[in-house]
Amino acid sequence: MNPNRKTYLIMKKIFSLITFSLVFLSCVSQNKTTAPNTAITNIETSSKPKLVVGIVVDQMRYDYLTRFESKFGEGGFKRMMREGFNCKNNHFNFVPTYTGPGHASVFTGTTPKYNGIIGNNWYDKEVKEMVYCAGDDNVEPVGTKDKAGKMSPHRMQTTTFGDENRLFTQMRGKTIGISLKDRGAILPAGHTANAAYWFHGSDEGVWITSSFYMDTLPKWVANFNTSKTVESYLKVWNTVYDISTYTESGADDNMFEGGFRGQEKATFPYDLKALSKANRGFDILKATPYGNSLTTDFAMAAIKGEDLGSDSTTDLLTVSFSSTDYVGHNFGVNSKEIEDTYIRLDKDLERFFLYLDTTVGKGEYTVFLTADHGAVNVPSYLKSVKIPAGYTNNAARKLKFQEFLSKKFGTKDIIENISNNQIFLDRKKVEVLGLNLTDVQNAIVNEQINYDNVSKVYSATTMNTTNFTTGIEALLQNGFNQKRSGDVILVDDIAFIGYSKTGSTHGSGLNYDTHVPLLFFGKGIKHGETYNKTVIPDIAPTISALLGISFPNGSTGKPLGFIID
């Protein structure tokens, strides 16, 4: 053999050996890096919170956080702000700002335009009657025989992030909804919830549900209902601190509050047990801070009874504190009663968070807190300090409108319903009379805009054909559902309401109704704050992003990436 040829073959074998060795080492190296990558994936999976708690405080204006801050302890609202993220310019981006639409939007990540919850009650154009957002005649009460149990989420048309978590975890992740109000428990929990529980007061004072979720109450709920916890709150309601220190609210004795039947003045103290008989029995608790305390008690019982947050699969607990709304409606946003209610809620939040620390584990859960709407200062109070405000005369407006209809169309019967600042036409009647629907809508718009305390009027045709991006028009459009909303939408003057001369209410697209808190804290949440505008539909996709799950199927909000650690 040629020496050169022999040398060539030897060198070729050596080169092949080197190549094989390099390939082998490369494979080994790849295998060695696979294990750490797998470990990292596992760490990421386990880094999800064991429990997400979504808290809605009914009728909480943003300024309650700052107005009552000096009265708060360190473990409730302040802990959330100190350890978590505060979105200080958070708003509802739709009208109407009511309880049903508010709760639905928080958890579906979209507005009534898509989720279908256009009010607490609304006129159903198909069945020709008013319907309730959570009412369902096809289910049976569980825990009571009262019709208060005939409820379900069937009118909500989109999923919640709780639904998406249930789908993502193959139904292993639990969802439980809790509130004094049925709609405050049912809508946040979604369609696939393991349970939603709400409080039935009257002469029973029990937590109930419906056959949509189960046939009988779990043992832990039955035990709670017989534990005398509810009865223990029928006691004297007085201020936590000396009432003279409540300088963040108005005088205790004033003309702007409703109060309780059986007590001449709406002033502290209130003997709830003595007053309960004249105020629908256990229902009186709803309009006191003790309703929130009761909700906290039951939420803690649910965590234990349902083993929430006990494993690596994320569970969801939704808690809506309703008493703040009842107190606000009764006494107004500037009352001593509302101040005391928030001081006591702060204490309830502190004991709730401490309970989560010891059961689920500190740093193992994530909480967000927001509201379903704000509230207007009592207009009669605003007038007394020379701020433009007042009350709509709906009876006079209706009479004038009927006269217009008779003169313009020869009949009043083309109107089917007027509710929620919307006018519903009898479209068949309009057709029989040979009238053009758009022309009729526009004629009503041009008439109504001339009425006292009517600020703006829009037709359904305008809502369907014009894309509004700013102002009240955009909020109206986000709340307009083509299938369910009316033919004409009315907007009242600022701080003018159709309500009693005492107490506060809500529903508008103005800042006092749209500006609400948004606090996040716990696992996966950065510490910080922002004045950049955020909107309520951003909450659900943010939690979905935190959990790595699909966004709710109708979500229109954006994930707030800057709050996620």
Query: Is 546 within the bounds of a domain?
Result: no
Cβ-proximal residues to 149 (8 Å cutoff; 6+ apart), any chain: 139, 140, 141, 142, 143, 200, 208, 209, 210
Instruction: Report the CATH number at residue 397.
Output: 3.30.1360.150
Count of CA atoms in the C-beta half-sphere (13 A) of 422: 28
The helix/strand/coil state of 488 is strand
Q: Are residues 89 and 137 in the same domain?
A: yes
Q: Are residues 74 and 109 in the same domain?
A: yes
Cβ-proximal residues to 525 (8 Å cutoff; 6+ apart), any chain: 84, 85, 366, 563, 564, 565
Query: Is 537 within the bounds of a domain?
Result: no
Q: Percent of the chain, pLDDT > 90?
A: 92
Q: Are residues 94 and 138 in the same domain?
A: yes
**Packing angle between helix 161-168 and helix 539-547, nearest 10 degrees?**
20
The whole-number average pLDDT for the span 116-134 is 98
Query: Is 258 within the bounds of a domain?
Result: yes
- The mean pLDDT of the chain is 93
* pLDDT tens-digit readout, 344-399: 999 999 999 999 999 999 999 999 999 999 999 999 999 999 999 999 999 999 99
Q: Are residues 451 and 474 in the same domain?
A: yes
* pLDDT tens-digit readout, 484-530: 999 999 999 999 999 999 999 999 999 999 999 999 999 999 999 99
What's the DSSP call for residue 393?
A: -
E strand segments, 394-553: 415-419, 422-425, 454-459, 488-492, 496-497, 518-522, 528-530, 534-535
The whole-number average pLDDT for the span 228-235 is 98
Active-site amino acid positions: 99
Q: Are residues 277 and 403 in the same domain?
A: no
Rounded CA separation 521/499 (Å): 37
Q: Are residues 525 and 464 in the same domain?
A: no
Q: In the chain, how many domains are there?
A: 2
Instruction: Answer whether 186's CB lies under 8 Å from 196's CB.
Output: yes
Cβ-proximal residues to 373 (8 Å cutoff; 6+ apart), any chain: 58, 59, 92, 97, 98, 99, 102, 506, 507, 513, 514, 516
Type of residue numbered 213: Y
Cβ-proximal residues to 132 (8 Å cutoff; 6+ apart), any chain: 120, 121
Bridge partners for 311 per DSSP: none
* pLDDT tens-digit readout, 300-314: 999 999 999 999 999
Paired tokens of 498: 């159709």
Question: What phi, psi does 210 have (nearest 5°)?
Answer: -135, 170
Distances (CA, A) of 248 to 240, 241, 309, 378: 14, 13, 38, 16
Paired tokens of 204: 């029973």
Going by C-alpha positions, the residue among 49, 219, 227, 116 that lies closest to residue 478 is: 116
| pLDDT at residue 6, rounded to an integer | 43
Q: Are residues 291 and 212 in the same domain?
A: yes
Instruction: Report the CATH number at residue 148.
Output: 3.40.720.10
Rounded CA separation 72/344 (Å): 9
Indicate the pLDDT class of residue 46, thresholds 50, 70 and 90.
low
- 20: pLDDT strictly greater than 80: no
Rounded CA separation 554/158 (Å): 6
* Residue that the structure tokens 């022309």 belong to: 439
| pLDDT at residue 30, rounded to an integer | 40
* pLDDT tens-digit readout, 337-353: 999 999 999 999 999 99
Rounded CA separation 371/376 (Å): 14
| pLDDT at residue 41, rounded to an integer | 37
Strand duo 315-321 + 175-179: pairing: parallel
The helix/strand/coil state of 459 is strand
Question: What phi, psi does 395 have (nearest 5°)?
Answer: -65, -45
Q: Are residues 359 and 483 in the same domain?
A: no
pTM: 0.92
Q: Are residues 377 and 354 in the same domain?
A: yes
Paired tokens of 387: 């701020």
Q: Are residues 329 and 415 in the same domain?
A: no
- 10: pLDDT strictly greater than 50: no
| pLDDT at residue 47, rounded to an integer | 86
Distances (CA, A) of 121 to 58, 71, 183, 190, 350: 17, 37, 11, 18, 34
- 38: pLDDT strictly greater than 70: no
Distances (CA, A) of 183 to 211, 214, 318: 16, 17, 12
Query: 10 vs 232, which has greater pLDDT?
Result: 232
Query: Is 93 within the bounds of a domain?
Result: yes
Paired tokens of 403: 């006269």
Start-end of H helices in 433-469: 437-448, 460-465
- 40: pLDDT strictly greater than 60: no
- 466: pLDDT strictly greater than 50: yes
Query: Is 5 within the bounds of a domain?
Result: no
Q: Which of 16-20, 145-149, 449-453 shows the lowest per-residue confidence on average (mean pLDDT)?
A: 16-20
Query: Is 35 within the bounds of a domain?
Result: no
Distances (CA, A) of 281 to 166, 178, 183, 261: 38, 21, 21, 12
Q: Would you say how long the chain is, in residues?
A: 565
Query: Is 15 within the bounds of a domain?
Result: no
Domain membership of residue 434 as a residue range? 390-493
| pLDDT at residue 36, rounded to an integer | 37
Rounded CA separation 289/339 (Å): 10
Q: Are residues 333 and 460 in the same domain?
A: no
Indicate the pLDDT class of residue 31, thresholds 50, 70 and 90.
very low
Q: Are residues 263 and 180 in the same domain?
A: yes
Rounded CA separation 422/186 (Å): 26
- 8: pLDDT strictly greater than 60: no
Task: Work out the number of other CB atoms within 10 angstroms of the CB of residue 136.
Answer: 19
Query: Is 245 within the bounds of a domain?
Result: yes
